Structure 1
Amino acid sequence: MNNGEKMLHFLENHQAKAYGNYINGNWINSVSGETYTIYNAANNKQPLAHFPKSTPEDVNQAVSAANDAFETWSVLPGPERGAILYKVADMLEENLQELSFIVSAEQGKVLNESMGEVLRAAKETRFCAGEAFRMEGKTLPAERQNVWNSTVRKPVGVIAEIAPWNFPMITPIRKIAPALAYGCTVVYKPATATPWTSARIMELLTEAGVPDGVVNLIVGSGSTVGDSLVTHPDVKGISFTGSTELGQQINQLASKKFAKTQLELGGKNPAVVLDYSNENHVAKQIISAACTCSGQRCTSISRVIVLRDKKDELVKALSNQLEKIKIGPAWDDNANMGPLVNKGHLDSVQNYIAIGVQEGANLIYGGELLEDEQYSKGAYMKPALLDNVKASMRIAKEEIFGPVLTITEVDSVEEALSVANDVDYGLAASVFTNDLSVAHQCAEKIESGMVHINHGTASAAHLPFGGTKSSGFGAFSIGSSNIEFFTELKTVYVEY
């Protein structure tokens, strides 16, 4: 059987299981006694699992377990913590197929993307395992004789980690692995739409040797569980990925108790197209970055800003690339774009397309719903390409979080940079140019946390990841920058 057939077989033989919260190494039902069901994103008639609607009392239990576990986990030598994380990475790879099926089933992305997500999670875990060996301090010269000065890094404590639904595997791992590497303990809240992958992660962490209480899973709404986590007095840091609006609320709540925050927020990422040798290469890079995960990722390219004399040629190349997209369920091995996560989100994306047309944009490709036959059980649409988009339009300024790409033409590099920066966000940007001087100029002047020259917005597993303006706050994630969030600095003076 090919991978798609194996996934279908997996789902056909799957029985929806009831999960509780994972607290101190045990699955525990919520005190509320209430549950809800998640369904297959590509077959909304098939239940996948049942999860609790948790309460503040459940949060207290999870935080208490994490707080108790911190006493022993934080003093475990870094190499021993790293060794456990290396085992976690191995287990992610060993369970690649099953994990990919789970990710695709609950989120909807095609199977190749899910497999790539699991493998990326393993790669980032290995990097974090190495970081456990590198909690470096400094020895500094003294002002006085017979005094020895140094700085050391100490783990912060219990970390609340809150994730969105678009990357059910990589986001929890990206938050949990560095926390464990640096000696912190975790209470993790997945999105209510995609908690199944997280439940399986808890099982693998325990199997790899993570002690009870070090990582705890709590499932429930943001308003109940999320707020209780953020405001809990024993939570010393909050790592959140999600909308800018929610990030602002979390930061306000956290600031009242001086808790640290690491916020990965929204994006309205431009592709600035100035010149090129091959318009098809540029179009392929842009469409991949716009339609991966059905456009439901914070680093998706959603705006193309192109010099006027290049526009017609580029638009044709973009349309040709969009024609190559095959939309279907994850188990269709020919599909390279799946459904959106659910009908509610599909309605939101469709509303933005309608707003764009009302504002005067020209819908030149796609955007229509797909509802016949295999599409009737999921939230499917064709990716949309809109031309004649002014920088002032809502579709050019607001995050749509779907496969919608806008075209804005400009007359100069200076105008392109001005338009690129004329949004509240500053997460990622792509620049396409053969001029090295212009490339450096754009990298310097574009207001974003990450700039990609001559390729799409794909990040690496060992480089810092984050944004500026309304796209992020606090230490960047991934890479060595995580140490700034998960640890605190201590200065030691010794007179001898």
Structure 2
Amino acid sequence: MTVTTNVMKLKMYINGEWRNSSNADINEVINPATKEVIATAPRATKEETEETIQVAKDAFESGVWSGLSAQERAQFLFKIADKIDEKQDELVELEVKDNGKTKAEAGFDVSDAATCFRYYAGLITKPDGETYHVPEPVQAMVVREPVGVAGLIVPWNFPLLMSVWKIAPALAAGNTIVFKPAEITPVTAMKLFEILEEVGIPKGVANMVMGKGSVVGQTIAESKDVDIVSFTGSTEVGRRIMQASSGNLKKISLELGGKSPNIIFADADFETAVDYALFGIFFGAGQVCSAGSRILVEESIHEKFVERFVERAKQIKVGPGMQEGVEVGAIVSQDQLESILEYIEIGKKEGATLALGGNRLTENGLENGYFIEPTIFTNVTPKMRIVQEEIFGPVAVIQKFKDEAEAVKLANDTDFGLAGAVFSQDGAKALRVIKKVRSGITWVNAYHPTYVEAPWGGYKQSGIGRSLGTYGLDDFQEIKQININLAVEPVGWFSN
């Protein structure tokens, strides 16, 4: 491991102040393409996390943020978006170093982050209450209010964008926040909080605590002063978050794992289907919760598809994310690299055919980073671990099916239900099948396009609740019914 000369010293942001932790245990942040230490970050204690939660609670109860009008909060969010645009180049470079993704991917993430803040800034100024025609003399209405203190915990695969998906609607709704970035990718999160400070977000409203999930995340989930926990990450951790959150029956929003089917019929536009299948699994080095990791191909074109898919995958350029022409970047960490390689070995032992890849790349300047070549398994069976379990890497499994019924059965043969796609030029068939796929995010003749206006989340063990769109704002609001008696006189229910 190499330490660079310009190592960033990250700090936490609590009550409007940049702070270190009293904990002497410091986290080193590694550039996965080079193994260089690019930053050091504090690891907060349980007591420091509890203090931060109290700060957020006090700020919420003071009304310094929740008491602002929607228009006033919106102006802050618009300013944040403008600052993200101003710092685009810096944020892109830091995201590449922090996570290992390519420059192109990071560029989309930064642009989408600004778009997300603008979307919620606009949304909260729109009408959102209701009135009801009930028997006189009562006027009934519903208003939406902030939940309170929001605990936000994000993953490492989209460090900036996932942060914004939670922070923007939480702040828009009037909540105060206690935010925890992923421990291995905290750099752009700190830059985002620098922007929040620059635009003048009141003290105590937006707080960031860095550290271990077992300490910081657990404390946030357990706290009776946290009113909602919004978590994105693995299903295993999501279960622990759910259990820990039960103490005060707080709201929870969980966006968890996936093992998503990409169904390709023989009547699909062949090159389009191949192209999107590549994008579906190898974008982000496969480290994407909605990745199309299970490719289901109609048997009449199976051999043709495998041949072309392998041919195209061989051409993918893997390397450091800032290099021109690189299409797939590094795996985020040594642990994740080892986990992916272990799954590849499992696939071999289970009897699947390794049609391409399966190796760590260590030549042509890649020896110092965490790189895996695009990997493809064929001749798999439904109960193989590589078919059922989330690998979270550039590993595709290709299954064949005979007809619509078998395609749907295979597609739904998983504990997850996050995403899925259907490729067919028969519109009626495509719609029939996609309606039967038990997933929350689906596409027809495409894979991966994401829009801030549309809800994001899954069925089954892929989570609870939705991010983005109006649904993402709903998570951070409580619904209050108000009944106003327009005839102020005794009800007369009991005799005098």
What is the TM-score normalised by the length of structure 2?
A: 0.95
Give the drift of 1:135: 5.8
Q: Out of 471, 474, 487, which is 1:481 matched to?
A: 471
Q: Distance in 1 between matches of 2:25 and 2:376?
A: 43
SS at match of 1:374: coil
1:393 paired residue among 384, 389, 400 = 384
Any idea what the Cα deviations from partners look like across 1:108-129, whole Å, max 9, x if unmatched?
A: 0011111111001111111111
Show the 5 A alignment for 1:248-327. Answer: 248-327=239-318
Partner of 1:470: 461
Q: Report the CA distance between 1:214 and its aligned residue.
A: 1.1
Which residue does the alignment assign to 1:358?
Answer: 349
Change (3 A) 1:484 1:440: same
Distance in 2 (CA, whole Å) between partners of 1:342 and 1:33 is 23
The question of 1:22 aligning with 2:18 is answered: no
Distance 1:36 1:278 in 2: 49
Pick aligned residue for 2:46 from 34, 48, 56: 56
Q: Is the 8 A contact 1:279 1:313 kept in 2?
A: no
> Could you say if the C-alpha distance between residues 108 and 332 of structure 1 is closer, same or farther in structure 2, counting changes exceeding 3 Å?
same
Q: 2:422 aligned to 425, 431, 437, which one? A: 431
Tell me the distance in 2 between the aligned counterparts of 1:323 and 1:278: 21
- Aligned with 2:254: secondary structure? strand
Counterpart of 1:105 (choices 76, 92, 97) is 97
Does the alignment pair 1:339 with 2:330?
yes
Indicate conservation of the 8 Å contact 2:267/2:426, yes or no: no
Question: Does residue 404 in structure 1 map to residue 395 in structure 2?
Answer: yes
Residue-by-residue CA offset, 1:229-264 (whole Å, 9 max, x unaligned): 111111000000000011111111112211000000
Q: Is the 8 A contact 2:28 2:41 kept in 1?
A: yes
- Matched-pair contact (CA < 8 Å) for 1:302–1:406: yes
What is the CA distance between 1:12 and its match in structure 2?
Answer: 12
* Deviation by residue 1:174-231 (Cα, 9 ceiling, x = unmatched): 1000001110111000111001111111001111222221111101101111111111
96-105 or 430-439, which moves further after superposition?
430-439
CA contact (8 A) 1:23 1:216 kept: yes
Shift of the alpha carbon at 1:87? 1.0
Q: Which residue of 1 aligns with 2:69?
A: 77
Q: Using the alignment, how far apart are the partners of 1:188 and 1:210 within structure 2? A: 15
Matched residue of 1:212: which SS?
coil
For the 8 Å contact 2:3–2:38, the answer to whether it is kept is no
Letter in 2 for 1:204: I
RMSD value, Cα = 1.5
Worse-superposed segment, 243-252 or 421-430:
243-252
Match of 2:492 in 1: none
Aligned length: 483
Contact kept in structure 2, 1:104 and 1:111, CA below 8 Å: yes
- From 149, 159, 167, give the equivalent of 1:176: 167
Question: Residues 103, 465 of structure 1: CA spacing in aligned structure 2 closer, same or farther, 3 A cutoff?
Answer: same
State how far apart, in whole Å, the 1-side matches of 2:124 and 2:196 are: 17
Distance 1:95 1:12 in 2: 26
| Residue type at the aligned position of 1:51 | A
Matches of 1:419 and 1:14, distance apart in 2: 52
Alpha-carbon distance between aligned partners in 2 of 1:97 and 1:74, rounded to the nearest angstrom: 33
Report sequence identity in percent.
36
The verdict on how the C-alpha distance between 1:445 and 1:277 changes in structure 2, with shifts beyond 3 A counting, is closer
- Mapped partners of 1:325, 1:112: distance in 2: 14
Q: SS of the residue aligned with 2:274?
A: helix
Deviation at 1:276, TM superposition (A): 3.5
Q: Which residue in the other structure is 1:88 paired with?
A: 80
Contact kept, 8 Å, 2:224 with 2:247, in 1: the verdict is: no
1:209 aligns with 2:207: no
Contact in 1 for aligned 2:159/2:186 (Cα 8 Å): yes
- What is the SS of the residue equivalent to 1:169? helix
Which amino acid in 2 is paired with 1:66?
A
Instruction: Specify the SS of the correspondent of 1:16.
Output: strand
1:114 to 76, 84, 106: 106
Question: How far apart in 2 are the matches of 1:399 and 1:90?
Answer: 37
| AA partner of residue 251 (structure 2) | K
Judged with a 3 Å threshold, the aligned counterparts in structure 2 of structure 1 residues 277 and 431 are, in CA distance, closer, same or farther, namely closer
- Point out where structure 1 has 5 or more consecutive residues left out of the alignment: 1-10
Cα offset, 1:357, TM superposition: 1.3
Match of 1:445 in 2: 436
Q: What is aligned with 2:115?
A: 123
1:81·1:181 contact (CA, 8 Å) conserved in 2? yes
Q: For residues 412-468 of structure 1, give each alpha carbon's deviation from its aligned partner in whole angstroms, at most 9, with x where no partner exists.
A: 110010000000000000100111111111121100001100011222121000000
Aligned to 2:408: 417
Q: What letter is aligned with 1:435?
A: D
Partners of 2:352 and 2:161 in 1: how far apart?
Answer: 35
Structure 1 partner of 2:485: 495
2:453 partner SS: coil
Native 8 Å contact 2:149 2:226 kept in 1: yes
Asked whether the 8 Å contact 2:269–2:425 carries over to 1, the reply is no
